[in-house]
Structure 1
Amino acid sequence: MPHKIPESVLVLIHTSDMEVLLIERADRPGFWQSVTGSLDRLDEPLMVTAARELFEETGIVADGDTIRLHDWQLSNVYEIYPVWRHRYAPGVTHNTEHVFSVCVPRDIPVTLSPREHTQYAWLSWLEAADRCFSSSNAEAILQLPRHIAP
Protein backbone atom coordinates (compact mmCIF):
# COMPACT_ATOMS: atom_id res chain seq x y z
CA MET A 1 0.00 0.00 0.00
CA PRO A 2 1.40 3.44 -0.91
CA HIS A 3 2.27 5.90 1.82
CA LYS A 4 -0.24 8.57 2.79
CA ILE A 5 0.43 12.10 1.59
CA PRO A 6 1.08 14.35 4.61
CA GLU A 7 -1.44 16.92 3.45
CA SER A 8 -5.07 16.66 4.48
CA VAL A 9 -8.41 18.38 4.94
CA LEU A 10 -10.55 18.91 8.01
CA VAL A 11 -14.24 19.48 7.23
CA LEU A 12 -16.46 20.86 9.99
CA ILE A 13 -20.11 19.94 9.43
CA HIS A 14 -22.49 22.29 11.21
CA THR A 15 -26.00 23.66 11.22
CA SER A 16 -26.98 27.33 11.01
CA ASP A 17 -27.47 27.35 14.79
CA MET A 18 -23.93 26.00 15.34
CA GLU A 19 -24.59 22.38 16.15
CA VAL A 20 -21.58 20.37 15.00
CA LEU A 21 -21.54 16.80 13.72
CA LEU A 22 -18.82 14.62 15.22
CA ILE A 23 -18.00 11.05 14.24
CA GLU A 24 -16.31 8.37 16.34
CA ARG A 25 -13.32 6.54 14.84
CA ALA A 26 -13.81 2.80 14.33
CA ASP A 27 -10.12 2.09 14.99
CA ARG A 28 -10.05 4.17 18.19
CA PRO A 29 -13.29 4.04 20.24
CA GLY A 30 -13.77 7.26 22.18
CA PHE A 31 -11.84 9.32 19.59
CA TRP A 32 -14.35 11.82 18.19
CA GLN A 33 -13.58 14.10 15.28
CA SER A 34 -14.88 15.99 12.28
CA VAL A 35 -14.37 14.64 8.77
CA THR A 36 -10.69 14.34 7.90
CA GLY A 37 -8.71 12.83 5.08
CA SER A 38 -5.55 13.03 3.05
CA LEU A 39 -5.10 13.92 -0.56
CA ASP A 40 -5.30 10.86 -2.83
CA ARG A 41 -2.64 12.29 -5.12
CA LEU A 42 -0.30 15.29 -4.95
CA ASP A 43 -2.21 17.26 -7.61
CA GLU A 44 -5.70 16.65 -6.14
CA PRO A 45 -7.33 20.06 -5.49
CA LEU A 46 -8.12 20.62 -1.81
CA MET A 47 -11.80 21.37 -2.55
CA VAL A 48 -12.06 18.01 -4.35
CA THR A 49 -10.43 16.25 -1.40
CA ALA A 50 -12.85 17.94 1.02
CA ALA A 51 -15.92 17.01 -1.06
CA ARG A 52 -14.69 13.42 -1.51
CA GLU A 53 -13.97 12.92 2.20
CA LEU A 54 -17.28 14.51 3.19
CA PHE A 55 -19.14 12.03 0.99
CA GLU A 56 -17.01 8.98 1.87
CA GLU A 57 -17.31 9.49 5.62
CA THR A 58 -20.89 10.79 5.97
CA GLY A 59 -22.73 10.29 2.67
CA ILE A 60 -23.29 14.07 2.47
CA VAL A 61 -22.86 15.48 -1.03
CA ALA A 62 -21.54 19.00 -1.44
CA ASP A 63 -23.55 19.92 -4.51
CA GLY A 64 -22.41 23.54 -4.71
CA ASP A 65 -26.00 24.80 -4.61
CA THR A 66 -27.67 24.03 -1.29
CA ILE A 67 -24.68 22.34 0.35
CA ARG A 68 -21.51 24.32 -0.25
CA LEU A 69 -18.05 23.76 1.13
CA HIS A 70 -16.41 26.87 2.51
CA ASP A 71 -12.59 27.05 2.35
CA TRP A 72 -11.38 28.89 5.44
CA GLN A 73 -8.00 29.61 3.82
CA LEU A 74 -6.51 28.28 7.05
CA SER A 75 -3.86 25.60 7.38
CA ASN A 76 -2.44 23.94 10.47
CA VAL A 77 0.79 21.99 10.66
CA TYR A 78 0.80 19.39 13.37
CA GLU A 79 2.84 16.40 14.47
CA ILE A 80 1.35 13.11 13.29
CA TYR A 81 0.38 10.93 16.25
CA PRO A 82 3.00 8.16 16.59
CA VAL A 83 0.30 5.47 16.38
CA TRP A 84 -0.45 6.57 12.78
CA ARG A 85 3.07 7.40 11.51
CA HIS A 86 3.50 3.97 9.92
CA ARG A 87 1.01 5.10 7.23
CA TYR A 88 3.48 7.74 6.00
CA ALA A 89 6.89 7.52 4.35
CA PRO A 90 9.81 6.95 6.71
CA GLY A 91 10.88 10.18 8.41
CA VAL A 92 7.55 11.98 7.84
CA THR A 93 6.44 13.38 11.21
CA HIS A 94 4.19 16.36 10.35
CA ASN A 95 1.02 16.92 8.36
CA THR A 96 -0.48 20.08 6.86
CA GLU A 97 -4.22 20.23 7.41
CA HIS A 98 -6.52 22.62 5.47
CA VAL A 99 -9.77 23.66 7.15
CA PHE A 100 -13.18 23.67 5.45
CA SER A 101 -16.74 23.84 6.71
CA VAL A 102 -20.17 23.03 5.39
CA CYS A 103 -23.54 24.18 6.73
CA VAL A 104 -26.27 21.54 6.46
CA PRO A 105 -29.85 21.11 7.66
CA ARG A 106 -30.05 19.36 11.06
CA ASP A 107 -32.15 16.55 9.58
CA ILE A 108 -29.76 15.70 6.74
CA PRO A 109 -29.27 11.94 6.44
CA VAL A 110 -25.85 10.79 7.68
CA THR A 111 -24.47 7.50 6.40
CA LEU A 112 -21.22 6.54 8.05
CA SER A 113 -18.52 4.44 6.47
CA PRO A 114 -18.50 1.50 8.94
CA ARG A 115 -14.86 0.81 8.13
CA GLU A 116 -13.94 4.29 9.42
CA HIS A 117 -16.59 5.37 11.96
CA THR A 118 -18.99 3.70 14.36
CA GLN A 119 -21.39 6.47 15.40
CA TYR A 120 -22.14 10.15 15.11
CA ALA A 121 -23.48 12.86 17.37
CA TRP A 122 -24.81 16.38 16.90
CA LEU A 123 -23.44 18.62 19.66
CA SER A 124 -23.37 22.31 20.44
CA TRP A 125 -20.16 23.81 19.09
CA LEU A 126 -18.64 24.13 22.58
CA GLU A 127 -19.51 20.53 23.49
CA ALA A 128 -18.08 19.36 20.16
CA ALA A 129 -14.81 21.20 20.77
CA ASP A 130 -14.56 19.57 24.20
CA ARG A 131 -15.18 16.08 22.81
CA CYS A 132 -12.59 16.20 20.00
CA PHE A 133 -9.41 14.26 20.63
CA SER A 134 -7.48 16.44 18.16
CA SER A 135 -6.44 19.88 19.36
CA SER A 136 -6.46 21.31 15.80
CA ASN A 137 -10.01 20.00 15.30
CA ALA A 138 -11.13 21.50 18.62
CA GLU A 139 -9.51 24.84 17.78
CA ALA A 140 -11.24 24.93 14.38
CA ILE A 141 -14.60 24.31 16.04
CA LEU A 142 -13.93 27.15 18.47
CA GLN A 143 -13.34 29.44 15.46
CA LEU A 144 -16.67 28.46 13.87
CA PRO A 145 -18.62 31.56 15.03
CA ARG A 146 -16.22 33.74 12.97
CA HIS A 147 -16.93 31.73 9.83
CA ILE A 148 -20.73 31.57 9.91
CA ALA A 149 -22.46 34.10 7.74
CA PRO A 150 -24.76 36.44 9.71
Structure 2
Amino acid sequence: MPNFKIPESVLVVIHTQGREVLLLERADNPGFWQSVTGSRDTPDETFVQTAAREVFEETGICADASGFADWAVSNIYEIYPAWRVRYAPGVTRNTEHVFSLCVSRATPVVLSPREHTACRWLPWLEAADQCFSPSNAEAILMLPQFMA
Protein backbone atom coordinates (compact mmCIF):
# COMPACT_ATOMS: atom_id res chain seq x y z
CA MET A 1 0.00 0.00 0.00
CA PRO A 2 1.52 3.38 -0.97
CA ASN A 3 2.31 5.91 1.72
CA PHE A 4 0.16 8.86 0.62
CA LYS A 5 0.57 12.38 2.00
CA ILE A 6 -2.09 13.64 4.38
CA PRO A 7 -3.87 16.63 2.77
CA GLU A 8 -3.37 18.77 5.88
CA SER A 9 -0.27 20.90 6.06
CA VAL A 10 1.43 23.85 7.69
CA LEU A 11 2.90 27.03 6.30
CA VAL A 12 5.48 28.65 8.59
CA VAL A 13 6.54 32.23 7.99
CA ILE A 14 10.00 32.52 9.57
CA HIS A 15 10.81 36.16 10.27
CA THR A 16 12.86 38.58 12.33
CA GLN A 17 11.63 41.35 14.63
CA GLY A 18 12.49 43.72 11.76
CA ARG A 19 10.03 41.91 9.45
CA GLU A 20 12.65 40.22 7.30
CA VAL A 21 11.28 36.92 6.00
CA LEU A 22 13.25 33.77 5.20
CA LEU A 23 12.44 32.32 1.77
CA LEU A 24 13.62 28.98 0.41
CA GLU A 25 14.09 28.01 -3.24
CA ARG A 26 12.55 24.66 -4.12
CA ALA A 27 14.96 22.01 -5.40
CA ASP A 28 12.30 20.49 -7.68
CA ASN A 29 11.25 23.89 -9.12
CA PRO A 30 14.18 26.31 -9.44
CA GLY A 31 12.97 29.89 -9.22
CA PHE A 32 10.04 28.93 -6.95
CA TRP A 33 10.52 30.65 -3.59
CA GLN A 34 8.48 29.83 -0.51
CA SER A 35 8.29 29.69 3.25
CA VAL A 36 8.59 26.39 5.11
CA THR A 37 5.68 24.09 4.27
CA GLY A 38 4.87 20.48 4.91
CA SER A 39 2.22 17.90 5.57
CA ARG A 40 1.38 16.11 8.78
CA ASP A 41 3.25 12.81 9.07
CA THR A 42 0.42 11.10 10.95
CA PRO A 43 -3.19 12.01 11.75
CA ASP A 44 -2.30 12.40 15.45
CA GLU A 45 0.64 14.76 14.87
CA THR A 46 -0.49 18.22 16.01
CA PHE A 47 -0.07 21.13 13.62
CA VAL A 48 2.47 22.82 15.88
CA GLN A 49 4.45 19.54 16.00
CA THR A 50 4.31 19.47 12.20
CA ALA A 51 5.51 23.08 12.10
CA ALA A 52 8.47 22.39 14.41
CA ARG A 53 9.42 19.21 12.51
CA GLU A 54 9.21 20.87 9.09
CA VAL A 55 11.19 23.93 10.19
CA PHE A 56 13.94 21.67 11.53
CA GLU A 57 13.94 19.37 8.47
CA GLU A 58 14.01 22.23 5.95
CA THR A 59 16.19 24.82 7.73
CA GLY A 60 17.97 23.10 10.61
CA ILE A 61 16.37 25.63 12.98
CA CYS A 62 15.38 23.88 16.21
CA ALA A 63 12.43 25.55 17.92
CA ASP A 64 10.03 24.08 20.44
CA ALA A 65 6.27 24.47 20.19
CA SER A 66 6.22 27.56 22.42
CA GLY A 67 8.21 29.51 19.83
CA PHE A 68 5.52 29.24 17.17
CA ALA A 69 2.59 31.60 16.80
CA ASP A 70 -0.56 29.84 15.56
CA TRP A 71 -2.38 32.41 13.48
CA ALA A 72 -5.63 30.38 13.53
CA VAL A 73 -5.73 30.92 9.76
CA SER A 74 -6.39 28.06 7.36
CA ASN A 75 -6.26 28.07 3.58
CA ILE A 76 -7.97 25.44 1.47
CA TYR A 77 -6.49 25.20 -1.97
CA GLU A 78 -6.43 23.00 -5.04
CA ILE A 79 -3.34 20.77 -5.09
CA TYR A 80 -1.27 21.42 -8.22
CA PRO A 81 -1.99 18.55 -10.67
CA ALA A 82 1.71 17.64 -10.91
CA TRP A 83 1.78 16.99 -7.13
CA ARG A 84 -1.49 15.04 -6.80
CA VAL A 85 0.30 11.69 -7.26
CA ARG A 86 1.64 12.18 -3.73
CA TYR A 87 -1.92 11.96 -2.35
CA ALA A 88 -4.54 9.21 -2.31
CA PRO A 89 -6.59 8.89 -5.49
CA GLY A 90 -9.34 11.51 -5.65
CA VAL A 91 -7.67 13.93 -3.23
CA THR A 92 -7.53 17.33 -4.93
CA ARG A 93 -7.59 19.82 -2.03
CA ASN A 94 -5.28 20.55 0.88
CA THR A 95 -5.93 22.48 4.10
CA GLU A 96 -2.94 24.57 5.13
CA HIS A 97 -2.58 25.98 8.67
CA VAL A 98 -0.49 29.14 9.07
CA PHE A 99 2.14 29.68 11.77
CA SER A 100 5.02 32.05 12.26
CA LEU A 101 8.35 31.79 14.01
CA CYS A 102 10.39 34.83 15.00
CA VAL A 103 14.16 34.24 15.04
CA SER A 104 17.32 36.32 15.07
CA ARG A 105 18.74 37.21 11.65
CA ALA A 106 21.97 35.55 12.86
CA THR A 107 20.23 32.16 13.26
CA PRO A 108 22.14 29.63 11.14
CA VAL A 109 20.11 28.10 8.31
CA VAL A 110 21.10 24.63 7.09
CA LEU A 111 19.00 23.62 4.08
CA SER A 112 17.83 20.14 3.27
CA PRO A 113 19.38 19.74 -0.22
CA ARG A 114 16.65 17.28 -1.14
CA GLU A 115 14.06 20.05 -0.74
CA HIS A 116 15.80 23.41 -1.20
CA THR A 117 18.81 24.80 -3.06
CA ALA A 118 19.04 28.34 -1.68
CA CYS A 119 17.66 30.68 0.94
CA ARG A 120 17.49 34.41 1.43
CA TRP A 121 16.20 36.98 3.88
CA LEU A 122 14.04 39.67 2.35
CA PRO A 123 11.97 42.57 3.69
CA TRP A 124 8.40 41.28 4.12
CA LEU A 125 6.85 43.09 1.14
CA GLU A 126 9.64 41.93 -1.17
CA ALA A 127 9.33 38.39 0.18
CA ALA A 128 5.59 38.36 -0.56
CA ASP A 129 6.33 39.40 -4.15
CA GLN A 130 8.81 36.53 -4.59
CA CYS A 131 6.48 33.70 -3.48
CA PHE A 132 5.01 31.49 -6.19
CA SER A 133 2.18 30.40 -3.90
CA PRO A 134 -0.68 32.89 -3.48
CA SER A 135 -1.47 31.65 0.04
CA ASN A 136 2.19 32.05 1.03
CA ALA A 137 2.28 35.61 -0.32
CA GLU A 138 -0.97 36.44 1.52
CA ALA A 139 0.42 35.06 4.78
CA ILE A 140 3.54 37.19 4.49
CA LEU A 141 1.40 40.26 3.83
CA MET A 142 -0.49 39.52 7.09
CA LEU A 143 2.75 39.35 9.11
CA PRO A 144 2.54 42.87 10.61
CA GLN A 145 -0.89 42.23 12.10
CA PHE A 146 0.31 39.00 13.76
CA MET A 147 3.42 40.69 15.14
CA ALA A 148 1.35 43.44 16.81
User: TM over 0.5, yes or no?
Assistant: yes
Partner of 2:71: 72
Distance across 1 between alignment mates of 2:36 and 2:8? 14
SS in 1 for 2:132: coil
Q: How far apart in 2 are the matches of 1:82 and 1:137? A: 18
Gaps of 5+ in 1: none
- Counterpart code for 1:82: P
Alignment partner, residue 47 of structure 2: 46
Q: What is residue 119 of structure 2 aligned with on the other side?
A: 120
Which amino acid letter does the alignment assign opposite residue 6 of structure 1?
P
Tell me the amino acid that sits aligned with residue 60 of structure 1.
I
**Which residue of structure 1 lines up, in the alignment, with residue 62 of structure 2?**
61
In the other structure, the counterpart of 1:24 is 25
**Structure 1 segments of 4+ aligned residues over 3 angstroms from their partners:** none
CA distance in 1, matches of 2:44, 2:19: 33
Describe how 1:4-23 pairs up with structure 2 within 5 A: 4-23=5-24
TM-fit CA distance, 1:77: 0.2
1:137 counterpart letter in structure 2: N
* 1:125 Cα offset (Å): 0.3
Cα distance in 2, alignment partners of residues 123 and 82 from structure 1: 30
- In the TM superposition, what is the alpha-carbon distance from 1:43 to its structure 2 partner? 1.1
Q: In the comparison of the two structures, how many residue pairs are matched?
A: 147
SS of structure 2 residue aligned to 1:143? helix
Identity among equivalent positions (%) equals 70
> Post-superposition shift, 1:63?
3.3
Q: Which residue is equivalent to 2:139?
A: 140
Partner of 1:108: 107
Aligned residue for 2:106, secondary structure, equals coil
Q: Distance in 2 between matches of 1:45 and 1:105?
A: 25
For structure 2, which runs of at least 5 residues remain unmatched after alignment? none
Counterpart residue type for residue 35 of structure 1: V
In 1, distance between residues paired with 2:81 and 2:137?
A: 20
The CA RMSD measured in Å over matched residues stands at 1.0
Q: Report the equivalent of 1:35.
A: 36
Amino acid of the structure 2 residue aligned with 1:45: T
TM value normalised by structure 2: 0.97
